[in-house]
Structure 1
Amino acid sequence: MDIGLLRVFQAVAEEGSISKAAQSLSYVQSNVTARIQQLEQELKTPLFYRHSRGITLTSAGQTLLEYTVRIFKLLDEAQQAVLDSPVPKGSIMVGSDTTAAVRLPAILSAYRSCYPDVEVQLQIRRPSELIDAVLQHTVQGAFLDGPVEHPEIVQELVINEQLGLIIPDSMDYEDLQSIHGQTLLMLNAECLYRMRLDAWLREEGLRLGKVMEFGTMEGLMACVRAGIGFAVLPVSYFRRMNITQGISCYPFPERYAEVPTVFIRRRDLYMTSAFREFIEVLKVHLPEAVFCNELPAAGGRRVDA
């Protein structure tokens, strides 16, 4: 099977259109159509349904796409392995959710000073998006609240964060009754922090009120300071922000306080020297972290394989 045919097939499958695939590949449309037909004849099965809205993959096409992605990933890894050297160079892509990202500036600065020939790129996303990015090889590793249950994911480290209620001074907090009916401000309404808060509230016979979701931590914290509502964040994040006026932090009770932040990667990831050394820098600059090959995933994010 010609690798060039697979590249055309993948482009058409991802674009969902012959014309868009031709444009992305800088081919004429008739050339793309002919190559898809050649591949279908070679495999003796249709790979796409043609309809008025464009094209969609058949079940055979979906199966071939999954293998095609794996084939090109293996080719990329082969190239990395051949070009890899004991001295880290090239680039690595790391992902993080917003709260975990507060730890990264010192880590990235230390790594850059040790390995100036490596370009480190950082993507800030939601936890679910980070898991997908790791599985799809978009990033090599990612920090997020976990653990994560998936057979293709290895968890390299865990930092046991302690949760706190981040409350404006105007709210005059005494106990959970003080936030009854108040608005919870969150970056991600489905995060594990909210689950812990829900459990605590249920134990006290209370219910969560409105939830307001934000796109940035800056916007969220500005609204907390303005008295619009309260937030749930790791105590370490609050301390690193060095907030001294307008907002206070009240720790969760011990039974609900602990939420792990994990650093995940694909189990089959080829570990370049640049990425291996990044892990070593994490060990130095995250002394509170527990490093291991795998972590128990009970109670974490379950991801369908």
Structure 2
Amino acid sequence: MDIGLLKVFMAVAEEGSISKAAQSLNYVQSNVTARIQQLEQELKTPLFYRHSRGITLTSAGQTLMTYTEKILNLLEEAEKAVVDSPVPKGSITVGSDTTAAIRLPPILSAYRGKFPEVEVHLEIGLTDQLINSVLQYSVNGAFVDGPVEHPDIIQELIINERLGLIVPETMDFCGLRTVQDKTLLILNLDCMYRMQLEEWLRDEGYRLANVMQFGTMEGLLGCVKAGIGYAVLPVSYYNKLNVKDGIRCYPFPERYGEVPTVFIRRRDLYMTSAFQQFIEELKEQLPEARMCGVETSDA
């Protein structure tokens, strides 16, 4: 089994189509088909189901895909290890959820000022998406809601965020009873912010009413301003907003108000000088972070 066959296999699996994979690889379709057939013959098992909508991985194909990702990543790391320079250069990709992303501009600016030969890519997403991106080596590291418990992941640093209720300024706010029958506006239905709010509500004898999910922070805050509902966000995020007109922030009680944001990476990730220096920049620019290189416990 050679590397070329695995690269073709991965392209077909990702595209879900022989023809699309051929286009992405700049191969003729018959060449891709022959290579997949060769791989299936070598392994003595079908790797794809063929159907009218394209192709999907069999259980054997899913297993091979897991190993293929690791093999190709190790190959890429081997190449980086050979050419990596003590002077950071090349590129890194960093992930962040929407709220943590507000911390990044000064960090990225300082980093690029020190290491102009490094190209930094930023991927914004939800926590579950970003954890998956880290596990698949799509990003070098990511800021996500924590803690993250996975045997393949290391938490590099932890920032304890204080949560706050974000309400329209027209609301006569008098504690939880003011919002207990209102709609919670949220980006991620399963986020830690919601869990902390539900615990606070439960202890006060209330329950969460309606929930409305949004795709963007702009849409969420716009609806808070319009009086459609309220939100739960880190106080640090609210404080850094350029425009706070139309909304107010009321911090949670200390008992319910702290949630960790963690910066994570794969345990087996090859640490290029560019990424090592980025982590050092994080530690310098985020003095409030607990910089202890915490490793998560096995899941």
Q: Does the TM-score normalized on the shorter chain lie above 0.5?
A: yes
Q: Give the counterpart letter for 2:58 in structure 1.
A: T
Question: Which residue number corresponds to residue 225 of structure 1?
Answer: 225
CA spacing shift, 1:245–1:79, aligned 2, 3 Å: same
Question: Which residue number corresponds to residue 293 of structure 2?
Answer: 293
Native 8 Å contact 1:147 1:295 kept in 2: no
Q: Secondary structure at the match of 2:88?
A: coil
- 1:95 equivalent to 2:107? Answer no
1:36-47 alignment runs, 5 A limit: 36-47=36-47
Question: Which residue number corresponds to residue 25 of structure 1?
Answer: 25
The offset of 1:206, in angstroms, is 0.8
Q: Give the counterpart letter for 1:190 in structure 2.
A: D
The offset of 1:117, in angstroms, is 0.6
The offset of 1:242, in angstroms, is 5.2
Native 8 Å contact 1:46 1:58 kept in 2: yes
CA spacing shift, 1:28–1:229, aligned 2, 3 Å: same
Question: Which residue number corresponds to residue 81 of structure 1?
Answer: 81
CA spacing shift, 1:3–1:246, aligned 2, 3 Å: closer
- Mapped to 1, the partners of 2:44 and 2:191 lie a distance apart of 46
When the two structures are superposed, what TM-score results if normalisation uses the length of structure 2?
A: 0.94
Question: Which residue number corresponds to residue 50 of structure 1?
Answer: 50
The offset of 1:52, in angstroms, is 4.1
Question: Which residue number corresponds to residue 237 of structure 2?
Answer: 237
CA spacing shift, 1:245–1:41, aligned 2, 3 Å: closer
Question: Which residue number corresponds to residue 147 of structure 2?
Answer: 147
Q: Deviations over 1:241-275 (max 9, x none)?
A: 15554322111111111100100000000000000
Question: Which residue number corresponds to residue 265 of structure 1?
Answer: 265
Q: Give the counterpart letter for 1:137 in structure 2.
A: Y
Native 8 Å contact 1:165 1:230 kept in 2: yes
- Mapped to 2, the partners of 1:237 and 1:20 lie a distance apart of 42
Once the two structures are overlaid, the 10-residue window that deviates more, 148-157 or 58-67, is: 58-67
Q: Secondary structure at the match of 2:170?
A: helix
When the two structures are superposed, what TM-score results if normalisation uses the length of structure 1?
A: 0.93
The offset of 1:168, in angstroms, is 1.5
Once the two structures are overlaid, the 10-residue window that deviates more, 247-256 or 279-288, is: 247-256
Identity value in percent: 71
- 1:197 equivalent to 2:204? Answer no
Question: Which residue number corresponds to residue 138 of structure 1?
Answer: 138
Q: Secondary structure at the match of 1:173?
A: coil
Native 8 Å contact 2:153 2:296 kept in 1: no
CA spacing shift, 1:179–1:84, aligned 2, 3 Å: same
- Mapped to 2, the partners of 1:230 and 1:273 lie a distance apart of 43
Q: Give the counterpart letter for 1:291 in structure 2.
A: M
- Mapped to 2, the partners of 1:10 and 1:296 lie a distance apart of 30
CA RMSD across the alignment: 1.8
Native 8 Å contact 1:97 1:126 kept in 2: yes
The offset of 1:223, in angstroms, is 1.9
Once the two structures are overlaid, the 10-residue window that deviates more, 221-230 or 97-106, is: 221-230
Once the two structures are overlaid, the 10-residue window that deviates more, 76-85 or 45-54, is: 45-54
- Mapped to 2, the partners of 1:241 and 1:16 lie a distance apart of 42
Q: Secondary structure at the match of 2:159?
A: strand
Once the two structures are overlaid, the 10-residue window that deviates more, 60-69 or 46-55, is: 46-55
Q: Give the counterpart letter for 1:127 in structure 2.
A: T
Question: Which residue number corresponds to residue 120 of structure 2?
Answer: 120
CA spacing shift, 1:50–1:229, aligned 2, 3 Å: closer
- Mapped to 2, the partners of 1:116 and 1:288 lie a distance apart of 26
Q: Give the counterpart letter for 1:31 in structure 2.
A: N
Q: Deviations over 1:265-289 (max 9, x none)?
A: 0000000000000011111110000
Q: Secondary structure at the match of 1:159?
A: strand
- Mapped to 2, the partners of 1:296 and 1:25 lie a distance apart of 38
- Mapped to 2, the partners of 1:273 and 1:296 lie a distance apart of 24
Native 8 Å contact 1:164 1:232 kept in 2: yes
Ranges in structure 1 where 5+ consecutive residues have no aligned partner:
none
- Mapped to 2, the partners of 1:276 and 1:150 lie a distance apart of 22
The offset of 1:56, in angstroms, is 2.9
Q: Give the counterpart letter for 2:253 in structure 1.
A: P
Q: Give the counterpart letter for 2:200 in structure 1.
A: W
The offset of 1:16, in angstroms, is 2.3
Native 8 Å contact 2:95 2:125 kept in 1: yes
- 1:35 equivalent to 2:23? Answer no
Native 8 Å contact 1:147 1:261 kept in 2: yes
CA spacing shift, 1:42–1:247, aligned 2, 3 Å: closer
CA spacing shift, 1:21–1:170, aligned 2, 3 Å: same
The offset of 1:205, in angstroms, is 1.1
Q: What is the aligned length?
A: 299
Q: Secondary structure at the match of 2:261?
A: strand
- Mapped to 1, the partners of 2:227 and 2:8 lie a distance apart of 55
Once the two structures are overlaid, the 10-residue window that deviates more, 45-54 or 117-126, is: 45-54
Native 8 Å contact 1:166 1:250 kept in 2: yes
- Mapped to 2, the partners of 1:234 and 1:278 lie a distance apart of 24
